[in-house]
Amino acid sequence: MEAAQPFFKHGPGPLLRLVFFVLLSLILMVVDTHFKYLYEVRQTIAVVISPVQRLAYIPTKISDLVNDFFVAQNLADENLRLKQQHLVDSGKLQQFLALMAENEHLRKLLETSQRNKSKTIVAEIISVPPDPFSRRVTLDKGIKNGIQLGQVVIDNLGVVGQITRIYPWSSEVTLITDREHSVPVQIVRNGIRSVVFGTGKDKTLELQYMANNADIQNGDSLVTSGIDGTYPSGLPVALVSKIKRDASSAFASIFCTPVAGVDRNKQVLILFPRTNPETPVESIDVQSKDKGLEESGAP
């Protein structure tokens, strides 16, 4: 038995199909916009294809997770590297600042040495005793460098102390704040001379044996008077910081703050004693001979 033959040998053409579906789409869009008939249909379709959409998104999500992991790992490594670099840079910056401060201090020491007429030598503090009541420090210059007992030690601001012990390659300085140390001083404002004594306390000196009615004020500057022959005159020593006048006592209690200090810098200047050039022996003999000839009338 033969199969039935189709009535039309060919179906609608592609153009006709396109026009048909376009018209159908427009009709459905108009109906949905005005009457909301297709809302439930869309919801049903969305529920049906939701699992398919989730499955389709899985590769993308896996790819995003992998990318995020590697990006986070790279950021963590970069953050760690930057932290380490920051620590290294911070250390270099601190060293640079310390070198700048040291160079500035050395420059000031050089200017002080040029202003001072005495011969000087730069020394570095190599040891500070752990005892808080000890007012002595050790320098890296000693007998081999020509250092002698009694030499004055200063910094760019003023008097630090005096050499009290010497060794071949080092020396010990007693600071002016030591209880057994004293410095003859003079008030710059009015020229009054006195002696300032160490108290054994850091940054504290005492100006003793000054009468209650002495002309001295807070902020007065004290410099070495030079009358002891040890400290050259005119070296800054301290500033008057506190004055107590008691009517029951003949003397005022006057405390001062040193202008210099080994707690600020590592380098100091050691002053050599000033020496006056001696008159040559031959010239003395010639002058005496000429004088004798004149007195005797000899040609």
Q: Please state, in angstroms and rounded to a whole number, the distance separating the CA atoms of residues 68 and 32.
A: 42
Q: Using 50, 70 and 90 to split pLDDT, how confident is the model at 4?
A: low
Residue 7 has pLDDT above 70, yes or no: no
Q: Please state, in angstroms and rounded to a whole number, the distance separating the CA atoms of residues 152 and 79.
A: 55
Q: Using 50, 70 and 90 to split pLDDT, how confident is the model at 294?
A: very low
Q: What are phi and psi of 60, to 5 degrees?
A: -65, -45
Q: Using 50, 70 and 90 to split pLDDT, how confident is the model at 286?
A: very low
Q: Using 50, 70 and 90 to split pLDDT, how confident is the model at 278?
A: very low
CA 262 to chain centre: 16
pLDDT at 155: 86
DSSP letters spanning the chain: -PPPPPSSSS---HHHHHHHHHHHHHHHHHHHHHH-TTHHHHHHHHHHHHHHHHHHHHHHHHHHHHHHHHHHHHHHHHHHHHHHHHHHHHHHHHHHHHHHHHHHHHHHHHHHHHHSSS-EEEEEEEE--S-TT--EEEES--GGGT--TT-EEE-SSSEEEEEEEE-SS-EEEEETTSTT-EEEEEETTT--EEEEEE-SSTT-EEEEEEETT----TT-EEEE--TTSSSPTT-EEEEEEEEE--TTSSEEEEEEEES--TTT-SEEEEEPPP-PPPPPHHHHHHHHHHHHHHHHT--
Residue 119 has pLDDT above 70, yes or no: yes
Residue 144 has pLDDT above 80, yes or no: yes
- What tokens appear for 104 in the block? 């500035």
Domain boundaries, the chain: 16-115, 120-271
Residue 5 has pLDDT above 90, yes or no: no
**Per-residue pLDDT tens for 231-266?**
888 889 999 999 998 888 888 999 999 998 767 778
CATH of domain 120-271: 2.40.10.340
Other residues' Cβ atoms within 10 Å of the Cβ of residue 111: 11
- pTM score: 0.58
Residues 211/188, Cβ–Cβ less than 8 Å: no
CA 254 to chain centre: 34
Residues 200/243, Cβ–Cβ less than 8 Å: no
* Choice between 176 and 54, residue whose per-residue pLDDT is larger: 176
pLDDT at 258: 93
Q: Using 50, 70 and 90 to split pLDDT, how confident is the model at 114?
A: low
* Contacting residues for 49 by C-beta, under 8 A, at least 6 apart: none
pLDDT at 148: 92
